[in-house]
Amino acid sequence: MSVYLDHAATTPLRECALDAWTRAQRDLAATPGNPAALHFGGRRARRMLDDAREQVAEALGADIHEVIFTSGATESDALGVMAAARGMRGREEFRALIVVSGVEHDAVAHQREVASREGFSWEVLPVDAGGVSILPVVGGHDAPPSWDGRLAVGSMALVPSEIGTIQPVADFVELVHASGGLAHSDAAQAIPTLDVSFAGLGLDLMSVGGHKIGAPAGTGVLLARRGIPMTTDRPGGGHERSIRSGTPDVAGACALAAALTEVVSERAAFAAHAADLRAHLLAHLPDGVVPTAGESASCPAIIHLSLPTARPEAVLMAFDMAGIAVSAGSACHAGVTRPSDIVMAMGRTEEQALGVLRVSLGRETTRDDIDAFLSALPTAMRAGAALDGVAHVRNERNEER
């Protein structure tokens, strides 16, 4: 038996997406054409792409001309933050400040290195103990003094992929706009359970990743409001409003549109299903395991837990041996585990930021899956505690020397 509880990392390809992709590839094979070509094959491919664009726009509360197809949320985030920041500074040279929340995905957070090389200033908002961004306090609709006249772009995820807390994006957008900047949000984790409307949120830019909603990996969308200044670092043939050049993946766009349409149609039912499973899991946690974000409002499909261990690799290995796929909230690179930056931003110690676990749910997840996780959790905790003990003995011996 295997149990998959890592849907926030990637979720299975939906049948509707596979059908749309297969149908599009067959049509393109029968009548080849680049969407930019003027002949009948090109016109057919362009119609397919435009139909997909229209579906995406309808599902996300956007205009068809605001939809830019990309390779995923990571590329969309990079374009959404940096292309917009360059464009704003090109229009007004003093707009060289980028403000982001302290719970952003690496796709946004690591743009700091790019921004620094290009002469932008970077500000990270603080986070409270419940994993919610703390906004500057201003009067009425005023702009924060340090942002006014300087802000180029502000970015805040609707739901951070690691801890799943719902962020105050609407209030953040008001502050960004009061400062004259552009507002971006990564909505990749929010779409399956929250009502996401590009126009309703008042955003200027929004990122979506295909494989988080059952579309193929390598597909994504950046919504960009018409008329905003954007200067891309990848010029080419002028595709996708000259922001993301390159021959578009027509079949991938069709698959993404199909998956997104289905996800939105199932949103209310899945949110209720996930909330029920979440409540069941939280009600049966053993002593010592608590939700990291406490009582903060969260996406029902992402459950972030704090464990009394600093050895997440042992915990994950124990779950893996039990046939259960979950993830550490901390990032693992080349087998080396490091503390979660987001959990540390919430005021936790390095050790506490290591002892975390993320359980993320999909539409296929059942109560039996949750029960299997709960049954395996005590063994996984003992595995972590055993390594904690070994590390403690080693530290004592080193101190004696």
Residues 375, 376, 377, 382, CA torsion sign: positive
pLDDT, position 143 = 85
pTM: 0.93
Q: Is the pLDDT of residue 70 over 80?
A: yes
Q: Is 173 helix (H, G, I), strand (E, B) or coil?
A: helix
Point out the catalytic residue in the list 16, 254, 299, 332.
332
Domain ranges across the chain: 3-8+267-400, 15-262
- When pLDDT is averaged across residues 302-308 and rounded to a whole number, the result is 96
Q: What percentage of residues in the chain have a pLDDT greater than 70?
A: 93
The C-alpha atoms of residue 245 and residue 307 are separated, in whole angstroms, by 45
Q: Write the CA distances from 302 to 240, 263, 295, 399, integer angstroms.
A: 33, 16, 14, 41
User: Which has more pLDDT, 345 or 397?
Assistant: 345
pLDDT category of residue 397 using cuts at 50, 70 and 90: very low
Average pLDDT over the chain, rounded to whole?
Answer: 92
Most confident of 2-6, 228-232, 382-386: 2-6
Q: Decide if 332 is catalytic.
A: yes
Q: Which amino acid is at 56?
A: V
Residue 379's nearest CA partner among 306, 321, 310, 303 is: 321
pLDDT at 215 > cutoff 50: yes
The phi, psi pair for 2, rounded to 5°, reads: -125, 145
Q: What is the pLDDT of residue 83?
A: 96
pLDDT at residue 394 above 90?
A: no
Q: pLDDT tens for residues 333-354?
A: 445 578 899 999 999 999 999 9
pLDDT bucket at 18, cuts 50 / 70 / 90: very high
Is the domain defined by 15-262 classed in CATH 3.10.110.10? no
Q: Average pLDDT, stretch 280-285?
A: 98
395 pLDDT band (50/70/90 cuts)? very low
What average pLDDT does range 26-31 have in this prediction?
A: 96
Q: What is the pLDDT of residues 99-134, one digit of tens each?
A: 999 999 999 999 999 999 999 999 999 999 999 999
CA 174 to chain centre: 22
Q: CATH assignment of 3-8+267-400?
A: 3.90.1150.10
The SS3 assignment for 87 reads helix
Reported in sequence order, the residue ranges of 197-244 that DSSP labels E, i.e. its strands, are 205-209, 220-224
Please say if the pLDDT value at position 284 is more than 60. Answer: yes
Residue-wise pLDDT for 134-144, tens only, equals 999 887 668 89
393: enclosing H helix or E strand: helix 367-400
What is the model's pLDDT at position 238? 67
Asked if pLDDT for residue 332 goes beyond 70, the answer is: no
CB 80 within 8 A of CB 155: yes
CB within 8 A of 337, min separation 6: which ones?
A: 312, 313, 328, 330, 331, 354
Chain centroid to CA 144: 27
